[in-house]
Amino acid sequence: MAKYKKDRIWVRKFDAGRRWLDGVAADRSGSLQTEEQYARCLKQFCEWVGKNPDELIAEREEQIKSEDKKIQRKAEENLKAFCLYLKREKEITFDIFHSAVRSFYRYNYNPLMVRTPKTSFNTIRPVTIEDLRVVDMASDERRRFFIRFLKDSGMSREDAVEVTYGDIKSEFERGERFIRINAKRRKEGINYETFIGPNAIEALKIYLRIRRNAGETITDETYLIATKRGKKMSPTTLTIDLMRLGKKVGVALSPHRLRKFFETYLSLAKIHPVTLKYWMGHKLSGDIEAKYIIPPPPEQKNLYMGGYPKIDIAGQQLNEEERRIQATFDNLRLTGFSEEDIERYLEQRGKTWTTAKELILVVRQRAGRPKPTENADCPDGKNCPVFKEISEEELLTHLQDGWRITHNLKNGKVIMQRD
C-alpha cells in the first residue's frame, strides 16, 4: 500500500479528512494499510466530484437545509453515480469505495441515506495440499519457512509479519514440536492464540541457521518473516513474493489462500468452529463463546496436535521419490546453486528429468562431470565404506556419485550412506 501513502497525506490535510480517519482508527483499530486504502477511495471520489473533503461536508450541510428533496439527497446521488461509473467505465468492484465514502460522511456527522449495495463475492479457494507440496519443493529455505508458518498458524499477513523470535523463543529453544503463539489481530484489536507445528519449526531451524551464518544476530526483537537483509517485511511485499513463487510453478499462492487452507483442512479435523475462529483471530460473537467454548491453552494445544495431520505436508504425505527430489534441491542450494539455477531445473521437470537420480545426472552433465565409475571409492571391491562423514563442500560430489544423506551433524557436517 506504499503507493497510497500520498493519498492518506492528502486526505489528512483537511479537517473533515482527519476527523474521519481518526474516527475509523479509534473505533476499528484499523491498520495503516486500511487507512491508506480508504484514503485512496475518498480521493478518487473527490476528484470525480471536483471537491475536497472539507468542501464535500460544507456542501452537504447546506444541501440538507433545503426543502427540495432532490437537493437534500444530492450527495447520495453523487455516490450512486460514482459507483456506476466505477462499474461501467473502470470495470472494478465498487464495494470498498461505497463503504469508504459512506464512512466519511458518517464520521463527519452527516450520514448518507443509502443502503449497502448487494454484491456477489468470489469464494477464495484454499491452496490444496498437493499444490503446497509442489510449492514447498520449489522454495528456497526463506520462502519455505514463510509458507509453512502461514499454513501452520492460519495468521493473516498483517499479523504474521509482526511475530518476533521472542514470541516463540522459550518453546523453540526447549525443542518443542508444537509451539503456542500469543498474537494480536491488529485489524480488530483482538488478542488470540494460535500454534505452529513440525513443518514450520523444522523450516525455521534451517532459516535461522542461514541468517546467523550470514552474520545476523538473532534477538528477541528479530522478525521471523523478514527481507533478505533481515529487515521487517511489509504485508504487501510478502504477498507479492509468494504470488511470484506460485506463478513460476503454476500454483495460485497468496497469504490469504494459505490462511484459507488452515481453516478448511482443520475443519476437516473436526476442530470446533468457535475454536478455529479464535485461532484465526476472528471476532467472536460474545463473551459466552470466549468463556465457555474456548478451552485452556494446554487443551487447545492437544486439539491442534490432533488436527495437525490434516495440514502436515511433510513425512508420510510425500512419497519417497518426492522426498529425494526435494532433498536434492535442498543440497544443491547448500552447495551454492542460485535460485535462478533451481528454477531452470524445475522448469525442465518432465522434459529432461523425472526422478531424483535423473536430476543429478542432468546437473552432472551441465557441470561437465563424468559419470561415476563403479566402486570408485574402493577399486579392490573389498572393505568398501557404507557410511562417510563429509563437509558441505563435498556434498554435491557425493550426491552425484550415488550417496545419500542420513544425518545432519551439529558441527555442520553430514553423514552419507551408499547402498
Question: Does residue 165 sit in the same domain as residue 294?
Answer: yes
Helix (H, G, I), strand (E, B) or coil at 268: helix
Q: Same structural domain for residues 170 and 245?
A: yes
Report which of residues 59 and 117 the model is more confident about.
Answer: 59
Q: What is the DSSP letter of 122?
A: P
Instruction: Please indicate, yes or no, if residue 146 is contained in any of the structural domains.
Output: yes
What was the pLDDT predicted at 393?
63
Residue 333 resides in a domain: yes
Torsion, Cα of 258, 264, 268, 272 (10° steps) = 110
- Given 316, 350, 375, the domain boundary residue is 316
Q: Is residue 114 part of a domain?
A: no
| Residue 213 and residue 163 share a domain | yes
Same domain for 312 and 334, yes or no, is no
**Mean pLDDT confidence for 197-225:** 94
pLDDT value at position 232?
A: 92
pLDDT (0 to 100) of residue 147: 96
- The DSSP-derived string for 173-235 is HTT-SSEEEEEEETTTTEEEEEEE-HHHHHHHHHHHHHHHHTTPPP-TT-BSSB-TTSPBPPH
**Whether residues 325 and 311 fall in one domain:** no
Q: Is residue 258 part of a domain?
A: yes
Lowest-confidence pick of 8-17, 72-81, 157-166, 362-371: 362-371
Q: Is residue 103 part of a domain?
A: yes
Look at residues 268, 294, 316 and tell me which one is the last residue of a structural domain: 316
Nearest CA among 50, 118, 120 for reference residue 82: 50
Show Cβ contacts of residue 318 under 8 Å, excluding neighbours closer than 6 positions: 133, 326
Q: By mean pLDDT, which of 7-11, 144-148, 316-320 is the weakest? A: 316-320
Full strand arrangement of the beta sheet holding 414-417: 387-390, 414-417, 404-408
What are the pLDDT digits (tens) for 336-382?
777 778 878 887 877 888 888 888 888 888 766 544 444 445 544 44
Q: State yes or no: pLDDT of 286 exceeds 70.
A: no
Residues belonging to the chain: 419
The arithmetic mean of pLDDT across residues 307-319, rounded, is 76
Q: What does the pLDDT read at residue 110?
A: 93
Q: How far is CA 260 from CA 155, 250, 280, 346, in A?
A: 10, 19, 10, 27
316, 339, 362 - which closes a domain:
316
> What range defines the domain where residue 93 resides?
2-107
8-12, 295-299, 342-346: the lowest-pLDDT one: 342-346
Would 189 be classed as within a structural domain?
yes
More confident residue, 47 or 367: 47
Confidence grade of residue 37 (pLDDT, cut at 50, 70, 90): confident
Q: Which residue has the higher pLDDT, 203 or 340?
A: 203
292 and 198, same structural domain? Answer: yes
The number of folded domains in the chain is 3
Average pLDDT over residues 149-175: 95
* Dist. CA 256–CA 122, nearest whole Å: 13
176 lies in the same domain as 221? yes
- Looking at the chain, the whole-number percentage of residues with pLDDT higher than 70 is 80
Average pLDDT rounded to a whole number, residues 66-91? 87
Cα distance between residue 310 and residue 124, in whole Å: 19
Q: Is the pLDDT of residue 161 over 90?
A: yes
Give yes or no for a contact between 145 and 203, defined as CB atoms under 8 angstroms apart.
yes
Cα distances (Å, whole numbers) of residue 45 to 9, 85, 101: 16, 11, 8
What's the DSSP call for residue 68? -
Collapsed DSSP state (helix, strand, coil) of residue 120: coil
Is the pLDDT score of 102 beyond 80?
Answer: yes
pLDDT tops 50 at residue 332: yes
Q: Are residues 65 and 197 in the same domain?
A: no
Torsion from C-alpha of 283, 289, 293, 297, nearest 10 degrees: 50
pLDDT of residue 374: 45
In the chain, the percentage of residues whose pLDDT exceeds 90 is 47
Could you tell me if 352 and 390 lie in one domain?
A: yes
CATH number at residue 198: 1.10.443.10
pLDDT greater at residue 74 or residue 356: 74
Residue 30, pLDDT above cutoff 80: no
Q: Mean pLDDT over residues 51-65, rounded?
A: 96
Compute the average pLDDT of residues 389-396: 69
249 class by beta-carbon count within 10 Å (0-12 exposed, 13-18 middle, 19+ buried): middle
Q: Specify whether 310 is located in the same domain as 217.
A: yes
Domain membership of residue 120 (yes or no) is: no
Higher pLDDT, 79 or 318: 79
- Is the pLDDT at 119 greater than 90, yes or no? no
Q: What is the sign, positive or negative, of the torsion defined by CA atoms of 214, 215, 217, 221?
A: negative
The residue that leads in pLDDT, 270 or 370, is 270
Same domain, 46 and 149: no
Distances (CA, A) of 411 to 50, 392, 393, 399: 68, 11, 14, 20
Q: What is the pLDDT of residue 282?
A: 83
Interval 245-267 mean pLDDT? 91
Q: What is the pLDDT of residue 189?
A: 72
Q: How confident is the model at residue 384 (pLDDT cuts 50, 70, 90)?
A: low
Task: Average the pLDDT over each of 312-316, 370-374, 398-402, 412-416 and give the range with the smallest value.
Answer: 370-374
Same domain for 271 and 335? Answer: no
Nearest to 111 by CA among 152, 172, 60, 157: 60
- Residue 118: inside a domain: no
For residue 225, the model assigns a pLDDT of: 96
